[in-house]
Amino acid sequence: MSALPVIRARCRALAIGLIATLPAHAQIAAEAETPPRTAEPASPVTLAPVVVTGERNTSYIETSSVSGTKTDTPLMDTQQAVSVINREQLDAQGVLSVQDALRYSAGVRSDAYGIDSRSDDAFIRGTSFTQYLDGLRQYFGFFSVGRTDPYTLERLEVVRGPASVLFGQGTTGGLISLVSKRPLSTPRHEVELQLGNYARQQLAFDFTGPLSKNGVWSYRLVGLAREADAQLDFSNNDRRLLQPSLCWQPSADTRWTVIGSTQRDGGSTTLNFLPHEGTLLPNPNGRIPTSLFPSEPGFDAYISEQQSVTSLFEHRFDKTWSVAQNLRYSTGNVDYRTLYPDVFSNPDNPFLDADRRTVARYSYIGQDKSKVLVSDSRAEARFHFAGLSHRLLAGVDVSRSDNDSARGNGFEASPFDLYAPVYGNFTVPEVMAVPGTATTQAGVYLQDQLELDHSGGPRWVGTLGVRRDRATTEVEGSDKIKDSATTARAGVMYRFASGVHPYLSYSESFQPFTYTDFFGNPYKPLRGKQTEFGVKVQPAGSKSLITATLFDVREQNRLSPDPTEPFNSIQRGDAKSRGAELEASAQIARDLNVTGSYTYTDVTVSDGSLVAGLPLHQASVWGSYKFSLLEIPGFNLGGGLRYIGQTTDETGALVTPDLALIDAAVGYTRGAWTLGVNAANLEDKTYVATCLSRGDCFYGPRRSVVGRVVYRW
């Protein structure tokens, strides 16, 4: 114990030195090899290869994650629950959105609000998540940019629980970290054609390879064009995107990647805010059609345009010191126009007629423009002191978000028939500018990953981290809102030689809101803390990974739906989330991949309300098998089962039944050609995803069938 003051003093001195060496902007390495566990590297450490440079991974299992520690730490050594969804799994399951990709992850309730076209939404451990792209926060405020297309991604990482020490602003539920496709040194080309129900037509391409003979320069070009309808009548889901990237790697110690992106989504709204009667509860006229379009054709729209440039730089000086940096500048424009039923004035009886068919409607226009600059710089040092191996990380991240908005609202009292709609009877609301908001954030963080040297190799590993954040929100015409916080994390793990790694960890979160409520009032910062006990199992030589966790999350100033205004959220008090998770993935031989999960989540709010749409129990399993038929190789079959337990509204009065959904896939590969068909909700079940006490319910996605033809060379 007497050595602890010396260690603390040495760490503080190193932290000051590390921060002083940071360049103007430094990049987080998105992919790296598993670090050696020896006391000293046998040779100088070089930068890790980018994602994939050789044969494609045919397993769902990844060995390391960057998001858990911001270093290339093995998943088995990360003292927090982290799920990695790689490209192999994304393709096998035929995901069409980030939201789809989360359906088989432990701790996640995906599709909680059904077929919302505006954003990817899900619960993680009973609350919302923060989304990051290439190590940088992606979204600031509601509906300010379009949704990321999974075709542009190499993988997704789900970090469950608070992660503010490394990432700054974030929810208590955790974060989704997206990793873009990067330039590869090995030539690879792909063209994909998709055809599906709802008139889906999509053409995509992905080209990558070296630009110079010595491999110093490499490129990647990803593009996509889609025209498609959606589940609702008169709705569409069109997209155009282009994502070029360039990599400069003059040596094994230096790499700089620049990624550009431009995307336009020309869609419409698919969230229809339907009454309880006719969806969850009986209505004398029967069930309201799942295809009902409650808005107005020709007026309704959800059009988003976004552009961004991302710089990713990393350099290693020697086997001890390295620096890295992420920087992104992005702009976004969203034009949102819709009408939705008035089920809120009288939730028990929103109908205007005795036959219970017609309702009044609200109209809404939202126009948002955003400009965001985000930077994260860090330095890392590996050294030994007092019998411990240290991996010390020090960093600074800053962000600036400017948002300008205009709003228009109206009320259409004329009856709208939910069973036989007649369109054209409405007035376009007047649009007026609302006060703009600007948010700046700066954080300084320090993390030390420790290993206790042991004659048979390090057995005890731990993580200590601390961060100081300061955020300022400026609302035009109002005083500045200043928030600051110190957050911490700590974890300890023991490595048994059998491949069983139990751990205990504690982490905190801090999230000042970069937007105001519907009426222009600022929110209080969201604060959270979590205690987690877990066990990770990976027997030596096996291609499997099992993670079991118990967690206790406490959250202050939680946001909940406003019972009187559907476009608003209110802070209703503190929340407590407790639960258990089990997640397992395995590659059985080379031809069979299986992943499964079970989640138990119990959330209580201090005001006595419940979390609408959050089941107590969830479970899922997915498997894919490659085989030969009549001595012809190249066939594959996939299938999955998702169980979602019953849910309630905030009061517990409205109960949505539990359900099981089946997904399936079939495919054939011969040479450069791959043919496949994926189906989600194969039985085409009609179900209600969530109902809220304010008066509205949301249908879940109906059956989706998409065929693919892929040519690779």
The answer to whether residue 107 sits within a structural domain is yes
**Would you say 657 and 648 are in contact if contact means Cβ atoms under 8 Å apart?**
no
pLDDT reading at 46 higher than 90: no
Whether the predicted pLDDT of 329 surpasses 80 = yes
Q: What is the pLDDT of residue 38?
A: 35
Q: Contact at 8 Å (CB) between 152 and 180? A: yes
Domain housing 474: 4-55+70-173+188-712
193-197 average pLDDT score: 97
Question: How much is the pLDDT for 24?
Answer: 34
Q: Does residue 328 carry a pLDDT above 60?
A: yes
Per-residue model confidence (pLDDT) at position 144:
64
Statement: residue 687 has pLDDT above 80: yes
Considering only the C-alpha atoms of the chain, give the largest distance between any 2 of them, rounded to a whole number of Å.
82
What 3-state DSSP class applies to 77? Answer: helix
In this prediction, residues 669-696 reach a mean pLDDT of: 96
Sign of the dihedral defined by the CA atoms of residues 35, 41, 42, 47, in that order: positive
Report for 52-66, 158-172, 518-532, 657-671: range of highest mean pLDDT = 657-671
Count the neighbouring beta carbons within 10 Å of the beta carbon of residue 598: 18
331: in domain: yes
Tokens coding 22: 């940071």
What token pair was written down for 580?
């258990």
pLDDT at 605: 86
Q: How far apart are CA 337 and CA 295, in angstroms?
A: 9
Instruction: Please calculate the CA angle 190-196-199 and round it to the nearest 5 degrees.
Output: 115
- Contact criterion met (CB below 8 Å) for 477 and 457: no
Contact in structure between 49 and 461 (CB atoms under 8 Å): no
Tell me: pLDDT of 196 over 90.
yes
What pLDDT was estimated at residue 47?
52
Instruction: Answer whether residue 372 shows pLDDT above 50.
Output: yes
Written as six digits, the tokens of 29 are 């390495």
> Is pLDDT at 40 greater than 70 in this prediction?
no
pLDDT of the residue at 146: 78
Average pLDDT of span 472-486: 85
pLDDT at 454 > cutoff 50: yes
Q: Is 553 left (phi over 0), alpha (psi -120 to 50) or beta?
A: beta
Segment 84-101 mean pLDDT = 95
User: pLDDT tens, 250-294?
Assistant: 999 999 999 999 999 998 888 889 999 999 999 999 999 999 999
The pLDDT of 669-679, averaged and rounded, is: 97
Determine the number of helices (DSSP H) and then strands (DSSP E) in the chain: 4, 36
What is the token pair recorded at 270? 């698919």
- 535-561 average pLDDT score: 89
Q: pLDDT tier at 65 (50, 70, 90 boundaries)? A: confident
% of the chain at pLDDT higher than 70: 90
**What are 501-530's pLDDT values in tens digits?**
999 999 999 887 766 677 777 777 888 899
C-beta neighbour count of 702 within 10 angstroms: 18
Pick the more confident residue, 34 or 293. Answer: 293
What pLDDT score was predicted for residue 298?
93
Of 268, 276, 279, 274, nearest to 294 by C-alpha is 274
Give the whole-angstrom CA distance, residue 112 versus residue 124: 11
Q: Is 383 exposed, middle or buried (0-12, 13-18, 19+ CB in 10 A)?
A: middle
Residue 212: the pLDDT is 92
What is the C-alpha separation between 309 and 169, in angstroms, rounded?
Answer: 22
Structure tokens at 639: 């299938």
For the sheet containing 688-691, what is the strand order?
274-275, 696-699, 688-691
Report the alpha-carbon distance of residue 605 to residue 612 in Å, rounded.
11
Which tokens go with 477? 């015409």
Give domain status of residue 672, yes or no. Answer: yes
> What whole-number distance in Å separates Cα of residue 476 and Cα of residue 403?
10
For residues 620-628, give the mean pLDDT. Answer: 96
Split at pLDDT 50, 70, 90, the class of 236 is very high
Question: What gap in Å lies between CA 590 and CA 593, rounded to an integer?
Answer: 8
Q: What pLDDT does residue 453 have?
A: 73
Q: Which residues pair with 246 in a beta bridge?
A: 219, 258
Give domain status of residue 65, yes or no: no
Identify the pLDDT of residue 139: 81
How many Cα atoms occupy the beta-carbon half-sphere of 64 within 13 Å?
Answer: 17
Section 577-598 average pLDDT: 94
Q: What is the mean pLDDT of the chain?
A: 88
- Contact assessment for residue 339 and residue 362, using Cβ atoms and an 8 Å cutoff: yes
Dihedral, 70, 71, 72, 75 alpha carbons, nearest 10: -60
How crowded is the C-beta side of 199, counted as CA atoms within 13 Å? 12
CATH code, 308 = 2.40.170.20
Please tell me whether residue 309 adopts helix, strand or coil conformation: strand
Half-sphere exposure of 528 toward its Cβ, with a 13 Å CA cutoff? 36
Structure confidence at residue 624 (pLDDT): 96
Report the pLDDT value the prediction gives residue 629, as an integer from 0 to 100.
92
| Structural domain count of the chain | 1
Cα Rg of the chain, angstroms: 25
Choose between 145 and 15: higher pLDDT.
Answer: 145
How many residues comprise the chain?
Answer: 713
